[in-house]
Amino acid sequence: MAKRKTMQNDPCPVARSLDLVGDRWSMLLVRDAFDGIRRFSDFQRNLGVARNILSDRLGALVEEGIFAVQPASDGTSYQEYVLTPKGEDLFPVVVALRQWGERQLFGKHDPHSLLIEAATGKPVAAMLPRDHAGHVLKPAHAQVKKTTKK
Amino acid sequence: MAKRKTMQNDPCPVARSLDLVGDRWSMLLVRDAFDGIRRFSDFQRNLGVARNILSDRLGALVEEGIFAVQPASDGTSYQEYVLTPKGEDLFPVVVALRQWGERQLFGKHDPHSLLIEAATGKPVAAMLPRDHAGHVLKPAHAQVKKTTKK
C-alpha cells in the first residue's frame, strides 16, 4: 500500500483519519471487531479477503495503535486482535457509515442488519451533527476554519 | 478498481457504504465538496492526486448518484461536480472521521482545521451515538441484529 500514511502531517483531521482507516478492509475489520471477532481466521472467513491483504491491514492497524495483539482468551496459542481505546473510539464512524447506508442504499423493504441498544432492543437513533441549540446542523450552516500549518 | 462494488447486496449497511465510499480519495472528494470545491482542476490541485485516479473516483461517485455534473455556475464551459442530496447526506460520516482525528491523531497543541457553526463561530460539538435516554452509547452496550438474507 504505497499510498498509506502520506497525510499524517495534514492539518485536516479528516485527511489524517482517512490515512489510517480510509480503505474498506480496515473499516470492515473495525466493524467486525465491534461484532466480537478477534482471530485472524475468523476475520478472513467473515470478510472473504485474501490472507496477504488481511495480514497487511491488520498489521497496519496494530502499528497505528487501533488494534492490539493479545494471547487468546481461552488459553490456546492463538493470537487475538482486539480494539484499543483508540480503535473503540471509531464507533461513531462505523455508526455514521451504517446509518448513511440504511438511509441511502436500501429499499424500503430491503432487509438489513440493525444496530440496537442491548438494554432495550431498540434501534439506535440517528446520529447527526447538531448546533448548540440542539438542531440538526446542515452542511450549509457549517464551515471549516483553516489553520495555518506550523 | 477491481474491488469496487462487491458488497452491493450485503445485508450490512456498513459494508454497502464502504463499497461506495470506502477509499480515501472518494471521501476526500466529498470533504472538498463540502468545502465548496466544484471543478476537476481544483480537486486535483487540492488533493495532489493523479488525473486518472481523480477521473476514476469522480466518475464512480457520479455513477452512484453521490455527485452530479452540471454546467459551470459562471457561464463558462467548465463542468462542475456538486453533491446530490445522497452525497450531502454523507456529512455525518465526514464529521465522525474529523472528530475521531481531532481526538486521536493530533497532539494537544498540534494545530488543525476546525469545523465551526457558521452562525456562531463555535466549534461543532462532538457527535456521538446516544441511547434513548440521551446518554452516550458505548459499543459494549450496542449489538447488531443480523437479518436473514432474502
B59 domain-assigned = yes
Give A129's contacts in chain B (Cβ within 8 Å): 91-92, 95, 124-125, 127
Residue range A100-118: mean pLDDT, rounded:
94
**Domain of residue B115, residue span:** 13-141
Residue B133 grid coordinates: 435516554
pLDDT < 70: residue spans in chain B: 1-5, 148-150
With residues binned 3-state (H G I as helix, E B as strand, rest as coil), the percentages for chain A, rounded to 5, are: 40, 15, 45
Contacts of B146 in chain A (CB under 8 A): 113
Model pLDDT, residue B149: 52
How many beta-carbon contacts under 8 Å exist across A and B?
245
Q: What is the CATH number of the domain that holds A18?
A: 1.10.10.10
Q: How far apart are CA A17 and CA A141, in angstroms?
A: 23
- Say if CB A26 and CB A94 are below 8 A apart: no
Smallest Cα distance from A78 to chain B, Å: 23
Among A15, A100, A101, the residue with its CB nearest the CB of B28 is: A15
| A141 → closest Cβ in B17, B112, B119 | B119
Nearest Cα residue in chain B from A50:
B3
DSSP A82-111: EE-HHHHTTHHHHHHHHHHHHHHSS-TT--
Taking the C-alpha atoms of residue A89 and residue B81, their distance in angstroms, rounded to an integer, is 33
Which residue from A82, A35, A12 is spatially nearest to B94, judged by alpha carbons?
Answer: A12
Nearest CA in chain A to B29: A15
pLDDT digits (tens, 9 = 90+) for B9-43: 899 999 999 999 999 999 999 999 999 999 999 99
Count of the separate structural domains present in chain A: 1
Q: What is the pLDDT of residue A133?
A: 92
CB contact under 8 A, A92 and B96: yes
Pair A145, B118: CB distance under 8 Å: no
Chain B positions in Cβ-Cβ contact with residue A134 (cut-off 8 Å): none
3-class DSSP state of A115: strand
Q: With a cut of 0.90, is the ipTM above it?
A: yes
* Residue B119 domain flag: yes
Confidence (pTM): 0.94
In this model, does residue A2 exceed pLDDT 50? no
* A52/chain B closest Cα distance in angstroms: 15
Angle, vertex CA B107, rays to CA B102 and CA B108, nearest 5: 90
Q: Would you say residue A132 lies in a domain? A: yes
